[in-house]
Structure formats: C-alpha cells, structure tokens
C-alpha cells in the first residue's frame, strides 16, 4: 500500500513537473517577417541551429548556414528549402577549428554579399579533448570562443551598415560552473589528470557572455546590438556527451522533461526578430526573457575587457572598433 502511494506520488510529481516545464518554456510569439534581411547561423545544419535557421527562413530571410561538413550542410539547406518554401537559403563552408577558414569565410562573404543583418554564433562543441588546433589554440576554446570572436569582428563592417544589426551568442547556464583564469585560457596549466572537457565548455560559455558585455560597450553609438542566451536544457548531442554519459535510465526519464530542439531555438529566434529587444544590448536571456547572469565573473566588466585584449593577442588580431 505504502509502495503504491509512493509510486502514484512519483508519477504525479513527474507529470506536474512535465506540465510546469512545458508551460514555462519561453516561446517566441513574435511573427515578424524578415524579408530582405540576411542572416548567418553558424552550425545551422543540426540541433538548435537548424531549428533557428528554419524558422528565420520561414520568415523570409536570406539564410546562410555556416558549417563544417559540406554534405550535412547541403542536406540541411535542402530540407529547409523544402519545408519553408524559401529558396534563398545557402550553405557556406566554415570550420571554426581553423582561423584560416574563418578568415576565408569572412572575406568571401564580404565580397559576395551586400549586407548582413543578423549573426547568430550558435556553433559549439562539447569541450574537446586536450588537443590544439593548427592555430595552436585549444580546440574547445577556439571553436566556442576564439573563432566566433574573430568571425564577429571580421563581419562587423557589414553588420554596421545594416539598419539594425544584431549579434546573438548562444551561451549556456554552464557558465555558472566556470572560473575564468586569463592565464589559463587554453588550459595550459592543466595536466592529463586535471584536464576536464566539461570545464572547457563552461569556461568557453562564460567567455561568450563576457564578450557580449565588452562588445556591447564597443558597439555604443552604432545601431548594432548584441546579446547572449541560455537555450535551456535541450536534448541535443552535446548534452548527451556532457551530462548523461553513464546514466541511461535517468536519461530516458529526463528526456521528456528537456526541451526539444524547436523549444531550444526559441530564445535565439526571439533575440533575432523581436522588436521588443531592438534597443537592448549586452544582456543575457533565457526563455525569451532577460535574466541575470549566474556569477560575479559573468558580470565583471573589467574581466570582460581583459579577456577581449588577451583574445586579440592570442589571435594576433586587432579589432578596429
Ligand atoms: C564530443 O566529444 C567527443 C569526444 O570525447 C566527440 O567524439 C564528439 O563528436 C563530441 N560531440 C560533439 C557534439 O561535438
Ligand atoms: C560571441 O562570442 C564570441 C566568442 O566568445 C565573441 O567573439 C563574440 O564577440 C561574441 N559576440 C557577441 C555578440 O557577444
Ligand atoms: C528603440 O529606440 C528607437 C530610437 O530611439 C525608438 O524609436 C524605438 O521606439 C525604441 N524601441 C523600443 C522597443 O523601445
């Protein structure tokens, strides 16, 4: 009898949690059209990036999927064209693990496209093993932080000439778990034992937030805004890798409570289209609402400035704004 009550209670709690989470999951209610707008979504070929790109294509935007794998990029493009009926969707090769690729992408884009209205830095990896890229930076940090930084700076001239440029960074609540050490950005102080993939992910996501803070300062006086966000706990491959590697049952139970990819894309879409945020910059969002960042470091303006300068140095690059 006791066991039965307990089971019923558990089922009830689970059901309640499910309904609660679905109801509080922020949905972008704005139906704004984007005809005439040009959008880049990095990593637009799968997961949240794909859902974001598809939604923006349905609104009539010219959408560029910037991703590494050509066949997957083209397959995603075809799928978006088929479902949205918008033919103005393209694949362009971008490999964030190579700064040469980032520069090539930006050069060609600037040469071939007339404008850029929305840049969505969505692509990211789950932290990476302790390996360096051809540019000598830690793979996970380059993909999630250094390369998007460079890309944003290089594309800035185009964004600036847009009537209302928006730069959106997909960060994560994982930034809460990070402590940033500016002398250890590429985990040079770690040994085989202390190196942690999860830590790299958390640090890179904190960097996304700090960059948004510093970039928004540098953008004052322009019409370009920049914001970062936490998409929610979304059922994607990245999450699989990080949190649930050994816990299959828990994973099966947790899955319905997580956001699906469409839900996970909502805050990004909101920041890309909603007139409500047209003058908002340097802020952090989740569930389509502005919220506070999780740690003191994430709102440390001085740390943000230093991170910007160190990143420029490590990239051997000087931004001109
Ligand atoms: C996560 O890391 C593993 C290596 O540990 C890699 O095989 C996998 O492709 C990564 N997943 C993503 C989504 O990058
Ligand atoms: C997004 O994050 C990247 C990497 O941290 C950074 O370079 C870029 O400036 C950020 N963009 C915005 C809009 O914050
Ligand atoms: C944003 O600023 C412009 C110019 O100052 C103003 O016309 C517009 O109403 C503002 N939008 C919002 C949503 O506050």
CATH number, domain with residue 53:
3.40.50.720
Residue 3 lies in a domain: no
What's the rounded Cα separation, in Å, for the pair 223 and 99? 28
Residue 321 lies in a domain: no
Residue 224 lies in a domain: yes
Distance between Cα 76 and ligand 2 center (Å): 25
The answer to whether 205 and 262 have CB atoms below 8 angstroms apart is no
The whole domain housing 120 covers 26-315
Distance between Cα 310 and ligand 2 center (Å): 14
What's the rounded Cα separation, in Å, for the pair 80 and 89? 8
The two structure tokens encoding residue 16: 């309640």
**Which residues form the pocket of ligand 2, taking CB atoms under 6 Å from any ligand atom?**
121, 145, 148-149, 152, 167, 169, 207-208, 211-212, 215, 226, 228
The whole-number pLDDT of residue 192 equals: 85
The whole-number pLDDT of residue 241 equals: 52
In this prediction the pTM is 0.84
Residue 16 lies in a domain: no
Burial, 104: exposed, middle or buried (Cβ in 10 Å; 0-12, 13-18, 19+)? middle
Question: Structural domain tally of the chain?
Answer: 1
Please, where are the H alpha helices in 219-260?
Answer: 237-243, 248-254
Sign of CA dihedral 231, 237, 243, 249: positive
The answer to whether 293 and 175 have CB atoms below 8 angstroms apart is yes
What's the rounded Cα separation, in Å, for the pair 218 and 242? 34
Helix (H) or strand (E) holding 226: strand 225-230
**Residues catalogued as catalytic:** 201
Residue 159 lies in a domain: yes
The whole-number pLDDT of residue 7 equals: 86
Residue 320 lies in a domain: no
Q: Which of the residues in the chain have pLDDT under 50? A: none
């Amino acid at each position: 009898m006791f066991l039965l009550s307990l089971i019923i209670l558990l089922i009830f709690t689970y059901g309640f949690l499910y309904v609660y989470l679905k109801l509080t999951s922020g949905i972008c209610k704005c139906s704004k059209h984007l005809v005439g707008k040009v959008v880049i979504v990095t990593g637009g070929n799968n997961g949240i990036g794909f859902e974001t790109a598809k939604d923006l294509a349905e609104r009539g935007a010219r959408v560029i999927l910037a991703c590494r794998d050509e066949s997957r990029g083209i397959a995603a493009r075809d799928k978006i064209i088929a479902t949205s009926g918008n033919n103005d969707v393209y694949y362009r090769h971008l490999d964030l693990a190579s700064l040469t690729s980032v520069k090539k992408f930006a050069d060609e884009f600037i040469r071939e496209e007339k404008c850029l209205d929305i840049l969505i830095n969505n692509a990211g990896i789950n932290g990476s093993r302790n390996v360096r890229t051809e540019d000598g930076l830690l793979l996970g940090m380059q993909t999630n932080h250094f390369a998007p930084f460079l890309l944003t700076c290089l594309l800035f001239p185009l964004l600036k000439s847009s009537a209302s440029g928006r730069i959106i960074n997909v960060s994560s609540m994982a930034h809460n778990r990070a402590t940033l050490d500016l002398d250890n950005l590429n985990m040079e102080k770690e040994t085989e034992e202390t190196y942690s993939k999860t830590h790299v992910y958390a640090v890179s996501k904190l960097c996304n937030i700090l960059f948004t803070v510093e970039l928004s300062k540098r953008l004052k006086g322009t019409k370009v805004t920049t914001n970062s966000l936490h998409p929610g706990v979304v059922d994607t491959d990245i999450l699989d890798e990080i949190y649930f590697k050994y816990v299959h049952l828990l994973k099966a139970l947790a899955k319905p409570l997580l956001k699906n990819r469409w839900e996970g894309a909502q805050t990004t879409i909101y920041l890309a289209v909603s007139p409500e945020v047209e003058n908002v910059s340097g802020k952090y969002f989740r569930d389509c609402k502005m919220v506070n960042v999780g740690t003191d470091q994430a709102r440390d303006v001085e740390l943000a400035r230093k991170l910007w300068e160190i990143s420029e140095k490590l990239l051997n690059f000087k931004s001109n704004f």
